[in-house]
Amino acid sequence: MSFSSTPLTPDQQKALAAHKAIEYVQDGQILGLGTGSTVHHFLTALGQRVQQGLRVRGVATSQTTAVYARQLGIPLLSNEEPWDIDVAVDGADQVDPHLNLIKGGGGALLREKIVAKVAQQFIVIVDQAKQVPHLGLPFPLPVEIVPFGWRTTQRHLEHLGWPSPLRQKAGQPFLTDNGNYILDLHIPEIADPSVLELSLKQIPGVVECGLFVRMTSLVIAGTNDGPLLTRAS
């Protein structure tokens, strides 16, 4: 992709970051395959490499990713076996200067965090607008909860001081691939992501939250001047 004075669209920036991430994939590796529009670009490029002879196996973080990966001929490992993932590649909804993330806009936060945690290297690919001075609004923090007693869990969360509406789709509660609900916490500014993550996960009914704290190895942001790489310090 050539660069000019004409600004790239967000989708073009995503594609730029995704193609740069392919450079970190090596033959024989096990890859964590994230979820979302930016990862879609990565999967497309990865599928082309697989057709050219690259030998990799993947772990999909969502049913959507699994379906597309199989269409591209990317072999997937079973969910029933332990994984030794070399590189996980995923997008993010927000990235702060410390490379902490908010994820879960697509509803796959639990599986994404399981995969990211076990990966030797976790690479995050984003368009430039996803890089923010602090986590929080305008993007809400997704929290995955069990359906049982969800209104009670919602009340516990709202007692922390923030609106926590139930995510819906077509007028019905949005269901994750795990059969759970999501509450989207409207927090103006997350001052200490690690403290908040711990507090949320102590609430009964909360399965996982979309804060990814000190997990990121490398962020690749697509910009009009090319891919911008930021490594964890």
Identical fold for domains 10-131+214-223 and 141-207, yes or no, is no
Max CA distance (Å), the chain: 54
Domain 141-207: which CATH number of 3.30.1490.190, 3.30.70.870, 3.30.70.260, 3.30.9.40: 3.30.70.260
Reported as a pLDDT band with limits 50, 70 and 90, residue 4 is: low
Rounded Cα distance, 196 and 49, in Å: 40
Hey, which residues are catalytic here? 112
pLDDT of residue 5: 66
Task: Give the residue-averaged pLDDT of 87-104.
Answer: 98
Reported as a pLDDT band with limits 50, 70 and 90, residue 147 is: very high
Domain 10-131+214-223: which CATH number of 3.40.50.1360, 3.90.1150.200, 3.30.450.40, 3.40.50.700: 3.40.50.1360
Provide the 8-state DSSP code for 81.
Answer: S
The strand pairing partners of 184, in sequence order, are 142
pLDDT digits (tens, 9 = 90+) for 20-61: 999 999 999 999 999 999 999 999 999 999 999 999 999 999
pLDDT digits (tens, 9 = 90+) for 62-87: 999 999 999 999 999 998 888 999 99
Inter-CA distances, 103 with 47, 57, 68, 147, 221, Å: 24, 24, 20, 20, 16
Domain boundaries, the chain: 10-131+214-223, 141-207
pLDDT of residue 6: 83
What percent of the chain lies above the pLDDT cut of 90? Answer: 95
CB contact set of 205 (below 8 Å; sequence gap of 6+): 145, 146, 148, 149, 150, 152, 153, 156
- Above 80 in pLDDT, residue 207? yes
Average predicted confidence (pLDDT) for the chain? 96
